[in-house]
Structure 1
């Protein structure tokens, strides 16, 4: 039996033909060679499977699996973890691009930090449909405090577009989580859970190109709650208070598990307090902007 690779790259797919070749070319160009690519196709109806077969014929590190029907994106994300053999793991979205030093740099960060670090990810650059640079994006999830509740509070304070969950995980930690769950913004819940388990390290290099396009279900311009629910295999369902659902699920997750009771209670309390403080700041900011606009409009009308 061949030895297991150090890193597994899990690529869950559904109708991904538009950007898939760019994605796979970038993975095969990584300058850290000790990896396998697990592709799980959710019964695509376009050329996705044909492209996958062509790439697998060229590189033995690619292993292909195909579901008999579309089980939903969250199921497929769990499937590639189930099939993985690596000590370290990274999810890969078909429409994003990892620059050649991505794996080497993130693996080195985990090795340097030791077992207290459970996730590393690089800085993000946003690109458009054509691959043109939009600009850098500050994830602000470099969470190295040794106290779990402080790391969890950092997630609640700063998470927005969630790119850290496309970083490199220690598999032993990832498999202790619920991973991607069947509700909107479940990636927030995952990162909070990971932060409770250990440190998250941001690599100070822009090695991740996140593509923003109308076909994305991950908060890109044009994406809707309905399209996101379709990604979960829940098309046609009504969206009711998605952020409240995320908050409730995150608190439930943080308050359970095998960690000491004090860690669970302090982590849940820190997330709740920080999240609501953030929501209050956002609403106050909107209120201030509204008041300023009204004052300026009134002043302009009086000077007319």
Structure 2
């Protein structure tokens, strides 16, 4: 039987939550899926967990890298390995309800044929799996008729979690993929919004975990996630994401008028409302701390 969707699991030293994440993917009630794991040379118990699961489940393909080539490479590599029309990334610490893939496929079938991404509503869980937040995402369809309207919707909402929805594989491959920049999820979503509308599954089928060990909670150490051997000093992570958002629009092939409107959306919906990030980049380049952080240190 030919699979309809690929669930790609990028992982590096994810043993703490990996078994639960894998179980949630294996429990999907959509039977026609393939599960592809790319292990970025983990040094903990990740390999043993993955090999045991692959031995039990013929849908799983396990790929282990000889060296850690960075998180961005690992995410992009999984898209290359996919063999189905639809694709979703499953982080090694998140949970999906059993209906996740099936409902996304059903919404794709009923949606505008130009739709490029479908995602369910999301709840936030903590390290122990307890629900700690319901996201206010009931109106987050981002199905507006123009790219700049779709961009403004999710950029203003800071809705990075929709990145983990179900993508049309061929459209995903038409983008520049995961860029080596903090905020790469928003950059990719921007490129996708330039290609077509999104759609929302009304059920809460995605549980995104927040915990102290995830890279997004580690300040400038986030940069090392992309390139483990690179220096993060002078990386200007917040400034670079705005630049990449603009580049994504510029390279999208949109008609000139709509491209200009989309370019104008980046500073108004993203950069200016988050001016403290670029300001922090400047302070970091000067080897100084922002005034607010110095006050915390003195306290």
TM-score (norm: length of structure 1): 0.85
Q: Secondary structure at the match of 2:31?
A: coil
Gapped runs of 5+ residues in structure 2? 278-299
Answering whether residue 254 of structure 2 is matched by residue 250 of structure 1, we say no
Answering whether residue 144 of structure 2 is matched by residue 145 of structure 1, we say yes
Is the CA contact 2:191–2:252 (under 8 Å) kept in the aligned structure 1? no
Where does residue 265 of structure 2 map in the other structure? 270
Deviation at 1:103, TM superposition (A): 0.8
Counting only pairs closer than 5 Å after superposition, residues 193-212 of structure 1 correspond to structure 2 as 193-212=191-210
| Residues 276, 50 of structure 1: alpha-carbon distance in 2 compared, 3 angstrom cutoff | closer
Deviation at 1:253, TM superposition (A): 1.5
Where does residue 16 of structure 2 map in the other structure? 18
Q: Aligned partners of 1:281, 1:19: CA distance in 2, in Å?
A: 33
Stretches of 4+ aligned residues off by more than 6 angstroms: none
Answering whether residue 169 of structure 2 is matched by residue 171 of structure 1, we say yes
Q: Aligned partners of 2:32, 2:26: CA distance in 1, in Å?
A: 11
Q: Secondary structure at the match of 2:192?
A: helix
Q: Aligned partners of 2:41, 2:275: CA distance in 1, in Å?
A: 43
Q: Aligned partners of 1:203, 1:244: CA distance in 2, in Å?
A: 33
Of 81, 84, 92, the match for 1:83: 81
Deviation at 1:148, TM superposition (A): 1.5
Q: Secondary structure at the match of 1:258?
A: coil
Is the CA contact 1:141–1:200 (under 8 Å) kept in the aligned structure 2? no
Answering whether residue 112 of structure 2 is matched by residue 117 of structure 1, we say no
Where does residue 223 of structure 2 map in the other structure? 229
TM-score (norm: length of structure 2): 0.87
The superposition leaves residues 36-82 of structure 1 with CA deviations (integer Å, 9 ceiling, x where unpaired) of 00111111101111111111111110011111100000000011100
Q: Aligned partners of 2:201, 2:13: CA distance in 1, in Å?
A: 31
Q: Aligned partners of 1:77, 1:280: CA distance in 2, in Å?
A: 28
Deviation at 1:87, TM superposition (A): 0.1
Of 53, 56, 79, the match for 1:55: 53
Is the CA contact 1:141–1:159 (under 8 Å) kept in the aligned structure 2? no
Where does residue 74 of structure 1 map in the other structure? 72
Deviation at 1:205, TM superposition (A): 1.1
Is the CA contact 1:8–1:89 (under 8 Å) kept in the aligned structure 2? yes
Aligned length: 275
| Residues 4, 225 of structure 1: alpha-carbon distance in 2 compared, 3 angstrom cutoff | farther
Is the CA contact 2:220–2:232 (under 8 Å) kept in the aligned structure 1? no
Is the CA contact 1:141–1:154 (under 8 Å) kept in the aligned structure 2? yes
Is the CA contact 2:100–2:120 (under 8 Å) kept in the aligned structure 1? yes
| Residues 242, 281 of structure 1: alpha-carbon distance in 2 compared, 3 angstrom cutoff | closer
The superposition leaves residues 171-229 of structure 1 with CA deviations (integer Å, 9 ceiling, x where unpaired) of 1211111221111111111111111111111211111111111111134xxx3221x12
Answering whether residue 178 of structure 2 is matched by residue 180 of structure 1, we say yes
| Residues 39, 264 of structure 1: alpha-carbon distance in 2 compared, 3 angstrom cutoff | same
Deviation at 1:280, TM superposition (A): 7.4
Q: Aligned partners of 2:209, 2:38: CA distance in 1, in Å?
A: 21
